[in-house]
Amino acid sequence: MKFGIVTFPGSNCDDDAYLAVTEALGATAERLWHKDHDLRGADVIILPGGFSYGDYLRSGAIARFSPIMREVVEHARRGGPVLGICNGFQILCESGLLPGALLRNRQLQFVCTTVVLRVESRDTMFTNQYREGQLLRIPVAHGDGRYTIDDSGLARLEDAHQVVFRYVDGAGNASPEANPNGSLDNIAGIVNERGNVMGMMPHPERVVTELLGGRDGLGVFESILARVAA
């Protein structure tokens, strides 16, 4: 079982993701470059956070046309797991692998803080090591994190239990105050209909060992390992 971590020009969480899966999880990983034309045998692809291509035009809009993305899209179509974190989530929406879009934060300011997430669905290959309703403390750091989708798209997400994480307060309520960016229905992370592609704005790779202040994010990677290695 091998992870593949993609680096685009402007990615800045690729090392964190690499260390999360190698050191904290103990798995093997391959670094992939945006100009690469093959996934080098990676079973799970991670699109990390950052500011690919300077966020020119729209966040993720240019990265989507990188040579490596052709392979990532094919991998996803074959049912291969893809995890997009922060800018990776934006790239997945722009590339059409996930529905909806991520817009400028409601308050027009970059938000860098630790949020509380509620696990909305543990029946995914990315969250099966968590408990349903479990509260996680995970950092966010983004300017364009306001998830949006039209009404029918939102209904489809809800009906198919594709909303995986919501921003909540300490008591677990998805209140407006707990929402760091104005995201629709406090949505922090979703999976595609097939369940093999997940995007999330918070950074699980930043909380995988006590040295980093917590381990609440490790479950995402443990879940993938449990499912893919099985």
Partner 1 sequence: MTRFRIAVHIVPRRGILDPQGKAVADALHALGFATVKDVRIGRHIVVDADAASPADAEADVRAMCDKLLANPVTEDYEIAGVAPL
Candidate list 21, 149, 154, 207; residue touching partner 1; CB under 8 A = 149
Contacts by 180-183, CB closer than 8 A, 24 or more apart: 180/105, 180/111, 180/113, 180/115, 180/140, 180/145, 181/105, 181/106, 181/107, 181/111, 181/140, 181/142, 181/145, 181/146, 182/105, 182/106, 182/107, 182/146, 183/145, 183/146, 183/147, 183/148
To partner 1, the closest distance from the beta carbon of 91 in angstroms equals 13
Candidate list 20, 32, 46, 103; residue touching partner 1; CB under 8 A = 103
Q: Is 123 in the site for partner 1 (CB under 8 A)?
A: no
- Pick the closer one to partner 1 by CB: 33 or 65: 65
Number of residues that bind partner 1 (CB under 8 A): 20
| Binding flags for partner 1, 56-95, as an x/- string (CB under 8 A) | -xx--x---x---------------------------xx-
Rounded Cα gap, residues 157 and 155, in angstroms: 5
Q: In sequence order, what are the residues at sequence separation of 6 or more whose Cβ sits closer than 8 angstroms to the Cβ of residue 18? A: 5, 29, 31
Rounded Cα gap, residues 166 and 12, in angstroms: 24
Has 86 been annotated as catalytic?
A: yes
Select the span of 103-111, 124-132, 164-172, 195-203 touching partner 1 (CB under 8 A): 103-111
Q: Is 110 in the site for partner 1 (CB under 8 A)?
A: no
Given the residues 71, 93, 203, 222, the one annotated as active site: 203
H or E element that contains 138: strand 135-142
CB 207 within 8 A of CB 138: yes
Q: Is 97 in the site for partner 1 (CB under 8 A)?
A: no
To partner 1, the closest distance from the beta carbon of 23 in angstroms equals 37
To partner 1, the closest distance from the beta carbon of 152 in angstroms equals 12
Q: How far is CA 109 from the centre of its chain?
A: 21
Rounded Cα gap, residues 201 and 16, in angstroms: 15
Select the span of 13-21, 36-44, 98-106, 164-172 touching partner 1 (CB under 8 A): 98-106
Has 94 been annotated as catalytic?
A: no
The residues annotated with a catalytic role in the active site are 86, 203, 205
Binding residues for partner 1, per CB under 8 A? 57-58, 61, 65, 93-94, 99-101, 103-108, 146, 148-150, 182
